[in-house]
Amino acid sequence: MSDNGFSRRTFLKGASIAAAVTGGPAAAGELARARGPRTLAPGLHALALTVNGTRHELKAEPRTTLLDALRDTLDLTGTKKICDRGACGGCTVLLDGEPINACLTLAFDAEGREVKTIEGLAQGDALHPVQAAFVHCDAMQCGFCTPGFVMSAVACLARHATPSRETIAKELSGNLCRCGTYGRVIEAVERAAKPAQGAPR
Protein backbone atom coordinates (compact mmCIF):
# COMPACT_ATOMS: atom_id res chain seq x y z
CA MET A 1 0.00 0.00 0.00
CA SER A 2 1.43 3.37 -0.93
CA ASP A 3 1.24 6.36 1.37
CA ASN A 4 -1.42 8.03 -0.77
CA GLY A 5 -3.85 5.28 0.05
CA PHE A 6 -4.03 2.93 -2.91
CA SER A 7 -1.89 0.01 -3.88
CA ARG A 8 -0.23 -0.99 -7.16
CA ARG A 9 -2.88 -3.70 -7.45
CA THR A 10 -5.64 -1.11 -7.09
CA PHE A 11 -3.99 1.08 -9.72
CA LEU A 12 -3.73 -1.78 -12.21
CA LYS A 13 -7.39 -2.65 -11.69
CA GLY A 14 -8.20 0.99 -12.37
CA ALA A 15 -6.12 1.00 -15.53
CA SER A 16 -8.08 -1.89 -16.95
CA ILE A 17 -11.30 -0.04 -16.21
CA ALA A 18 -9.83 3.00 -17.96
CA ALA A 19 -9.36 0.92 -21.08
CA ALA A 20 -13.06 0.17 -20.97
CA VAL A 21 -13.90 3.83 -20.41
CA THR A 22 -12.21 4.90 -23.60
CA GLY A 23 -12.54 1.73 -25.59
CA GLY A 24 -16.25 1.42 -26.45
CA PRO A 25 -16.34 1.18 -30.25
CA ALA A 26 -19.57 3.03 -30.94
CA ALA A 27 -19.67 5.13 -27.82
CA ALA A 28 -16.15 6.57 -27.67
CA GLY A 29 -16.35 10.24 -28.63
CA GLU A 30 -14.12 12.53 -30.65
CA LEU A 31 -12.90 14.12 -27.47
CA ALA A 32 -11.98 10.79 -25.96
CA ARG A 33 -10.21 9.80 -29.17
CA ALA A 34 -8.36 13.11 -29.35
CA ARG A 35 -7.12 13.03 -25.80
CA GLY A 36 -6.26 9.34 -25.86
CA PRO A 37 -6.72 6.82 -23.08
CA ARG A 38 -7.08 8.13 -19.58
CA THR A 39 -6.20 6.27 -16.45
CA LEU A 40 -8.88 6.34 -13.81
CA ALA A 41 -8.50 4.43 -10.60
CA PRO A 42 -11.60 2.95 -8.99
CA GLY A 43 -13.70 5.41 -7.03
CA LEU A 44 -15.40 8.67 -7.78
CA HIS A 45 -13.98 11.10 -10.35
CA ALA A 46 -15.11 14.52 -11.54
CA LEU A 47 -17.14 14.43 -14.71
CA ALA A 48 -18.88 17.16 -16.72
CA LEU A 49 -21.90 16.19 -18.81
CA THR A 50 -23.82 18.49 -21.11
CA VAL A 51 -27.41 17.33 -21.12
CA ASN A 52 -30.19 19.15 -22.95
CA GLY A 53 -27.92 22.18 -23.28
CA THR A 54 -27.04 22.40 -19.59
CA ARG A 55 -23.61 21.56 -18.26
CA HIS A 56 -23.62 19.44 -15.12
CA GLU A 57 -20.61 18.78 -12.94
CA LEU A 58 -20.85 15.54 -11.04
CA LYS A 59 -18.82 12.67 -9.73
CA ALA A 60 -18.99 9.17 -11.12
CA GLU A 61 -17.11 5.91 -11.02
CA PRO A 62 -15.34 4.85 -14.25
CA ARG A 63 -17.86 2.02 -14.59
CA THR A 64 -20.93 4.29 -14.33
CA THR A 65 -23.13 4.10 -17.38
CA LEU A 66 -24.60 7.20 -18.96
CA LEU A 67 -28.01 5.76 -18.09
CA ASP A 68 -27.22 5.57 -14.38
CA ALA A 69 -25.64 9.02 -14.38
CA LEU A 70 -28.76 10.49 -16.01
CA ARG A 71 -31.26 8.71 -13.81
CA ASP A 72 -29.52 8.37 -10.46
CA THR A 73 -27.34 11.47 -10.32
CA LEU A 74 -29.06 14.03 -12.54
CA ASP A 75 -32.59 12.80 -11.73
CA LEU A 76 -33.52 12.68 -15.41
CA THR A 77 -35.70 9.61 -15.11
CA GLY A 78 -37.51 9.96 -18.43
CA THR A 79 -34.84 7.71 -19.94
CA LYS A 80 -35.90 4.22 -18.92
CA LYS A 81 -33.86 1.34 -17.60
CA ILE A 82 -35.58 -1.80 -18.79
CA CYS A 83 -33.17 -4.54 -19.88
CA ASP A 84 -29.92 -2.69 -18.98
CA ARG A 85 -28.13 -4.73 -21.65
CA GLY A 86 -28.78 -3.14 -25.03
CA ALA A 87 -31.73 -5.30 -26.00
CA CYS A 88 -34.81 -3.07 -25.70
CA GLY A 89 -34.00 0.54 -26.67
CA GLY A 90 -35.84 1.91 -23.64
CA CYS A 91 -32.77 3.94 -22.69
CA THR A 92 -32.32 5.60 -26.10
CA VAL A 93 -30.87 9.11 -25.96
CA LEU A 94 -29.14 11.22 -28.59
CA LEU A 95 -25.40 11.67 -28.34
CA ASP A 96 -24.29 14.41 -30.72
CA GLY A 97 -27.56 13.78 -32.53
CA GLU A 98 -27.10 10.03 -32.93
CA PRO A 99 -29.34 7.57 -31.10
CA ILE A 100 -27.47 5.38 -28.64
CA ASN A 101 -28.29 3.01 -25.82
CA ALA A 102 -27.40 4.87 -22.65
CA CYS A 103 -27.12 1.55 -20.79
CA LEU A 104 -24.23 0.54 -23.06
CA THR A 105 -22.41 3.88 -22.93
CA LEU A 106 -20.10 4.82 -20.13
CA ALA A 107 -20.77 8.25 -18.65
CA PHE A 108 -17.14 9.26 -19.20
CA ASP A 109 -17.52 8.56 -22.93
CA ALA A 110 -20.24 11.20 -23.10
CA GLU A 111 -17.99 13.91 -21.66
CA GLY A 112 -17.51 16.77 -24.10
CA ARG A 113 -20.48 15.70 -26.19
CA GLU A 114 -24.10 16.82 -26.38
CA VAL A 115 -26.57 14.50 -24.71
CA LYS A 116 -30.25 14.96 -25.47
CA THR A 117 -32.88 13.14 -23.45
CA ILE A 118 -36.66 13.02 -23.62
CA GLU A 119 -36.76 15.89 -21.11
CA GLY A 120 -35.02 18.14 -23.64
CA LEU A 121 -37.58 17.87 -26.44
CA ALA A 122 -40.51 20.02 -25.35
CA GLN A 123 -40.22 23.80 -25.40
CA GLY A 124 -41.98 24.83 -22.22
CA ASP A 125 -45.55 23.61 -22.55
CA ALA A 126 -45.20 23.01 -26.30
CA LEU A 127 -44.56 19.36 -27.06
CA HIS A 128 -42.05 18.42 -29.71
CA PRO A 129 -43.91 17.43 -32.92
CA VAL A 130 -42.96 13.79 -32.37
CA GLN A 131 -44.33 13.85 -28.83
CA ALA A 132 -47.51 15.57 -30.05
CA ALA A 133 -47.93 12.96 -32.77
CA PHE A 134 -47.55 10.11 -30.26
CA VAL A 135 -50.29 11.69 -28.14
CA HIS A 136 -52.54 12.31 -31.15
CA CYS A 137 -52.13 8.75 -32.44
CA ASP A 138 -52.41 7.22 -28.95
CA ALA A 139 -49.15 5.45 -29.70
CA MET A 140 -48.64 3.94 -26.26
CA GLN A 141 -50.21 1.58 -23.79
CA CYS A 142 -48.19 1.26 -20.57
CA GLY A 143 -45.87 3.95 -21.93
CA PHE A 144 -42.69 2.51 -20.47
CA CYS A 145 -41.01 2.08 -23.85
CA THR A 146 -42.32 5.39 -25.21
CA PRO A 147 -39.41 7.74 -24.37
CA GLY A 148 -37.02 5.45 -26.20
CA PHE A 149 -39.31 5.23 -29.23
CA VAL A 150 -39.72 9.01 -29.28
CA MET A 151 -35.95 9.58 -29.23
CA SER A 152 -35.42 7.04 -32.02
CA ALA A 153 -38.22 8.69 -34.00
CA VAL A 154 -36.60 12.12 -33.60
CA ALA A 155 -33.34 10.66 -34.92
CA CYS A 156 -35.20 8.92 -37.76
CA LEU A 157 -36.82 12.19 -38.88
CA ALA A 158 -33.52 14.02 -38.69
CA ARG A 159 -32.17 11.50 -41.20
CA HIS A 160 -35.27 11.10 -43.36
CA ALA A 161 -37.63 14.04 -43.89
CA THR A 162 -40.46 11.87 -45.20
CA PRO A 163 -39.62 8.28 -44.34
CA SER A 164 -41.57 5.34 -45.74
CA ARG A 165 -43.23 2.94 -43.30
CA GLU A 166 -40.44 0.48 -44.06
CA THR A 167 -37.80 3.09 -43.23
CA ILE A 168 -39.54 3.99 -39.99
CA ALA A 169 -39.76 0.32 -39.02
CA LYS A 170 -36.07 -0.13 -39.78
CA GLU A 171 -34.99 2.99 -37.89
CA LEU A 172 -37.03 2.00 -34.85
CA SER A 173 -36.09 -1.67 -35.00
CA GLY A 174 -33.87 -1.34 -31.91
CA ASN A 175 -36.86 -0.40 -29.77
CA LEU A 176 -39.11 -3.07 -28.32
CA CYS A 177 -42.66 -2.61 -27.07
CA ARG A 178 -44.02 -5.39 -24.90
CA CYS A 179 -47.53 -3.99 -25.38
CA GLY A 180 -47.23 -4.32 -29.15
CA THR A 181 -48.07 -0.72 -30.07
CA TYR A 182 -45.95 -0.78 -33.22
CA GLY A 183 -48.71 0.11 -35.70
CA ARG A 184 -49.62 3.31 -33.90
CA VAL A 185 -45.98 4.22 -33.34
CA ILE A 186 -45.40 4.08 -37.09
CA GLU A 187 -48.52 6.17 -37.67
CA ALA A 188 -47.22 8.73 -35.17
CA VAL A 189 -43.85 9.03 -36.90
CA GLU A 190 -45.59 9.42 -40.27
CA ARG A 191 -47.76 12.15 -38.80
CA ALA A 192 -44.79 13.96 -37.27
CA ALA A 193 -43.09 13.90 -40.67
CA LYS A 194 -45.88 15.92 -42.27
CA PRO A 195 -44.75 19.57 -42.09
CA ALA A 196 -48.31 20.89 -42.14
CA GLN A 197 -49.12 19.10 -38.91
CA GLY A 198 -46.34 20.22 -36.65
CA ALA A 199 -43.93 22.97 -35.87
CA PRO A 200 -40.48 22.82 -37.49
CA ARG A 201 -38.26 20.21 -35.87
- Residue ranges binding ligand FES (CB under 6 A): 81-84, 86-91, 101, 103, 140-145, 177-179, 181
Using CA atoms, how far apart are residues 70 and 76, in angstroms rounded to an integer? 5
For ligand FES, the closer of residues 132 and 177 by Cβ is 177
Q: What angle do CA 72, 129, 170 make, to 5 degrees?
A: 80
Q: How far is the CB of 26 from ligand FES (least distance, A)?
A: 13
Q: How far is the CB of 92 from ligand FES (least distance, A)?
A: 7
For ligand FES, the closer of residues 122 and 179 by Cβ is 179
For ligand FES, the closer of residues 22 and 92 by Cβ is 92
For ligand FES, the closer of residues 70 and 132 by Cβ is 70
For ligand FES, the closer of residues 45 and 116 by Cβ is 116
Q: How far is the CB of 146 from ligand FES (least distance, A)?
A: 6
Q: How far is the CB of 117 from ligand FES (least distance, A)?
A: 13
Q: How far is the CB of 43 from ligand FES (least distance, A)?
A: 25
Q: With contact defined as beta carbons under 8 Å apart, do 191 and 131 qualify? A: no
